[in-house]
Amino acid sequence: MDLKRAIDLAQKQTPLALSAAEAEYMVQEALAAQSRISSRKPVLGGFSWQFVPMLFCSAALLFWWLWPTAPVSEMAGQRPAFDLASRVAPPASALASRLQLPNGDEIAASPGVHFRLVEANANSRAIDLSSGDMLFSVKPLKGDQSFVVTAPGLRVRVTGTVFSVHASAAATVVRVYEGAVEVLMNGNTHNVSAGQQINSDGLRVQREPDALSSVADEFVAARAAWKSQSEETKAAPARQEVSQTRARRATDPTKGTKPVAGRKQRTEVSMPAESPMPEAELTALQPTTPEHAGEADALRQGQRLLAQGRFAEAAELGRIESLPILRGDALRAQGKHRAAVAAYQQSTSMLGTYLAARIILSELSQPLEALNLLSNSPAIGVGSPIRERALALQMQAAVQASQPSKAEKIARSYLKLFPEGGANAFANQVLAP
Amino acid sequence: MAQARLVSLVEPQHLLRDLLPKLRTWLLRYLGPCAVLDDVVQDALIEISRSLSSFRGDSSIDTFAYRIAIRVASRALKKQSRRVAVLRLVPAAPDTIDPHLQLANRELLRQLYDALDGLPHKQRSVFVLCDIEEHSPTEAAAILNCKAATVRSQLRRARNHLARTLGDSNVTWKEVE
């Protein structure tokens, strides 16, 4: 087709001629229409109906902004009250939505948090946090109860503590305000104490303030009040029972001795069997420096559990808080001697070695093993705070292992170092012809 | 501003009377042969008479009227108000005495405006202004209220589309400045 020619034809086309009357009619009609339009009264004082959809959209947006967000309502199980005031001036802590579970646990969530309540029953509570900040105040768990928070890259097991979890695309951070939590990430377990925080890369630093710090402080204060109240109501009868038990032991001559039969012995000797070790001794030897303040708290809590006879909980607490001596005491009280020895030997302190050797000797009746353990231990070295006890135990082990020369050597050292020691009589018996 | 003062002095009916023939020619070239041409012209006249009070004199009154006419024509095309061409209304060109040639010319025009119907309104306006009305890109840009570069690019696209649609790849287009 010839496009150029078509364009020429289009240029040359002219409309049909109008008569003068027709042209005048069209002009007058246009002017009349214009005057009709300009004389039309405005509807509703000039209100333009074109703005109606815009107004409707604005109202919908305002309503959507003012209405509470969906995840919070899912958490609470009911729609929160319509609160305009908190939306207008939103301080960070005021925007945190709080929820109290039936067992007294408290949860606070920052706005826009996304999480899923995986499990929520009397024994097991599990929360899957996708993004946002959540703060948990969990009452101490009993028996097989568990409280687990899963966030991107890590998993937090709780025993009874106040902690927060921040999850975002960049990192996941666990902050502990009170007690301690066990964080599982990349196949490793990290125990994070109060005042510390750990992120999903495994970096552990001093806790930094976050959006929910003020709420956390309230939770900690509430827990302190709850603890003092529960201690007054629960600990008093337990302490009374323990003191009664100790009084019965002190007056009962059959308790505290363990006869060793079927072994060659030169002398009938016995060491007092103390179970568990005196609290004063434990607290003196456990770390109580400020950076281990969380451990000291956990240790005191564990001792309370031992005094109340809640050995399983104490053992679990010792495992989670990395307190092997507490765990060993709890296992020993449960009669699990071999497990107690293993727990004691996990301790890097000389007290752990001493306690392990004591169980091996008295409960497992393996004096040779106890002797070897003590011989290589710093517990009998110079400067050891438990040197006197360790030497006495080593001497007893040597006697029971039928190694008289070694026993005599230890007895001489003992008498020389501790002329006023509690095992002097036993040392003299060893050295007697 | 002088233009605006001049327009304010002239009676509107005189102005519309002068504009009417031009409007009919412009709109015929824009829409092609159609039965509703005078309806669109009437709409354009009403729109111009309404807008005269807002004329600021930034351009000539013809450019102002042309701009309104194109807007009204585009609106009419969007409403699909353009009906099937009634070719009887189109007078034969003076040199077309041969009835076969006259029929061929009408067929050519029909094909051209059918192809223009397939163009976006902006490209159609640019093509009509630059290649049928023979305005420069700058003048077309003033009428369409856009940049001259936009006019050039739109014109290039319209030409390519028409050449492709009508199967005339050898056409030589007029150079645009």
pLDDT by residue for chain B (177 residues), tens only, comes to 555 555 555 677 788 888 898 889 989 888 888 778 888 899 999 998 888 888 877 778 888 899 999 999 888 888 764 444 444 445 555 555 677 887 888 888 888 888 888 889 899 999 999 998 888 999 899 888 899 999 999 999 999 998 888 887 777 777 766
B137 touches chain A (CB under 8 A): no
Contact: A3, B171; criterion CB under 8 Å: yes
- Give the residue from B45, B119, B165 with the most A CB atoms within 10 Å of its CB, the best one to mutate: B45
pLDDT at A172 over 60: yes
| Contact between B29 and A18 using a beta-carbon 8 Å cutoff | no
Kindly state the average pLDDT of the residues A32-60: 73
Distance from CA of B166 to the nearest CA of A (A): 6
d(CA A280, CA A292): 18
Separation in Å, CA B15 to CA B28, B65, B69: 20, 10, 15
Residue among B12, B112, B163 whose CB faces A10 most closely: B112
Question: Measuring CA to CA, how many Å separate B29 from each of A15, A228, A313, B33, B61?
Answer: 9, 95, 95, 8, 19
Q: What span, in angstroms and rounded, lies between the C-alpha atoms of A212 and A229?
A: 26
CB–CB contact A13 B162 (8 Å): no
pLDDT of res. B147:
92
The first and second tokens of residue A41, run together, are 């009264």
d(CA A20, CA A262) in angstroms, rounded, equals 144
Q: How much is the pLDDT for A173?
A: 84
* CB contact A20 to B (< 8 Å): no
Return the residue of B nearest to A19 by Cα: B21
A127 three-class SS: strand
CA–CA separation, A66 vs A277, rounded Å? 61
Number of helices (H), then strands (E), in chain B? 8, 0
Distance CA A280, CA B11 (A): 113
Contact A367, A361 (CB under 8 A): yes
Mean pLDDT value across residues A80-109: 60
CA distances B154 to A59, A262, B122, Å, are: 41, 111, 7
* Distance (Å, whole) CA A33 – CA A26: 10
Q: What is the spatial distance between Cα A339 and Cα A389, in angstroms, rounded to a whole number? A: 23
Q: Are A119 and A86 in contact, with CB atoms under 8 Å apart?
A: no
Pair of tokens at residue B1? 């501003």
Q: How far is B27 from chain A (nearest CA, A)?
A: 9
Q: How many CA atoms lie within 13 A of A423 on its CB side?
A: 27
Stretch A95-102: mean pLDDT = 69
Which range among A65-69, A205-209, A338-342 has the greatest average pLDDT?
Answer: A338-342
* Subunit contact B16:A13, Cβ cutoff 8 A: no
Closest residue in B to A7 (Cα) is: B132
Cβ–Cβ < 8 Å for A326, A299: yes
B142 in Cβ contact with B59 (< 8 Å): yes
Task: Give the nearest partner residue to B45 out of A3, A9, A30, using CB atoms.
Answer: A30
CB contact under 8 A, A15 and B28: yes
| Residue in A closest to B167 by C-alpha | A1
Q: Given CB atoms, is A382 within the 8 Å cutoff of chain B?
A: no
Residues 59-88 of B with CB under 8 A from A: none
**pLDDT higher than threshold 50 for residue A266:** no
- Gyration radius (Cα) of chain B, Å: 17
Q: What is the CA radius of gyration of chain A?
A: 40
Tell me what pLDDT residue B168 has: 75
Measure the CA–CA gap between B140 and B126, rounded to whole angstroms: 7
Look at B24 and A18 and tell me if their CB atoms are within 8 Å.
yes
Q: Which of A140-144, A313-317, A384-388 comes out lowest in average pLDDT?
A: A140-144
Structure tokens at A46: 């000039």
Q: CB-CB: which of B13, B33, B105 is closest to A27?
A: B13
- Checking if the pLDDT of A117 tops 80, the result is no
On chain A, the residues whose CB falls within 8 A of the CB of B134 are 11
Per-residue DSSP letter, B119? S
Considering Cα of A247, then A248, then A251, then A256, what sign does the dihedral take?
negative
pLDDT-above-90 percentage for chain A: 0
Q: What is the pLDDT of residue B80?
A: 63
Q: Is A67 helix (H, G, I), strand (E, B) or coil?
A: coil
Model pTM?
0.37
Q: Is the pLDDT of residue A391 over 50?
A: yes
Long-range contacts made by residues A303-312, C-beta under 8 angstroms, separation at least 24? Answer: A303/A279, A304/A231, A304/A235, A304/A238, A305/A330, A306/A276, A306/A330, A306/A333, A307/A235, A307/A238, A307/A239, A307/A242, A308/A234, A308/A235, A308/A238, A309/A238, A309/A241, A312/A143
Distance CA A151, CA A204 (A): 17
pLDDT band at A139 (very low <50, low <70, confident <90, very high): confident
* B25:A9 CB<8 A: no
* Beta carbons of B42 and A5 less than 8 Å apart: no
Residue of B21, B38, B168 with shortest CB distance to A1 = B168
Residue A32 contacts B, CB cutoff 8 Å: no
Per CB-CB distance under 8 Å, the chain B contacts of A30 are 16, 42, 45-46, 48-49
Task: Tell me whether residues B45 and A13 touch, CB distance under 8 A.
Answer: no
**Range list of H helices, A40-158:** 51-66, 70-76, 84-88
Q: Coil, strand, or helix at residue B20?
A: helix
Residue with tokens 């009250």, as numbered in its chain: A81
* Best CA proximity match to A263, nearest among A367, A408, A162, A167: A367
Name the residue type at position A251. Answer: T
Residue A244 confidence (pLDDT) above 70: no
Name the 3-class secondary structure at A282.
helix
Nearest to B49 by CA among B95, B7, B1, B105: B7
Q: How many angstroms separate the CA atoms of A293 and A178, rounded? A: 10
How far apart, in Å, are the Cα atoms of A356 and each of A187, A212, A328, A388?
29, 44, 9, 16
Whether A66 and chain B come into contact, CB under 8 Å, resolves to: no
The set of residues, in sequence order, having a beta carbon less than 8 Å from that of A130 and lying 6+ positions away, is: A114, A115, A116, A152, A167
Q: Does any CB of chain A come closer than 8 Å to the CB of residue B93?
A: yes
Q: Can you point out the beta strands (E) in A200-327?
A: 204-206
Q: Which residue of B has its CA nearest to A17?
A: B21
Shortest alpha-carbon distance between residue B120 and chain A (Å): 18
| CA–CA dist A121, A148 (Å, integer) | 12
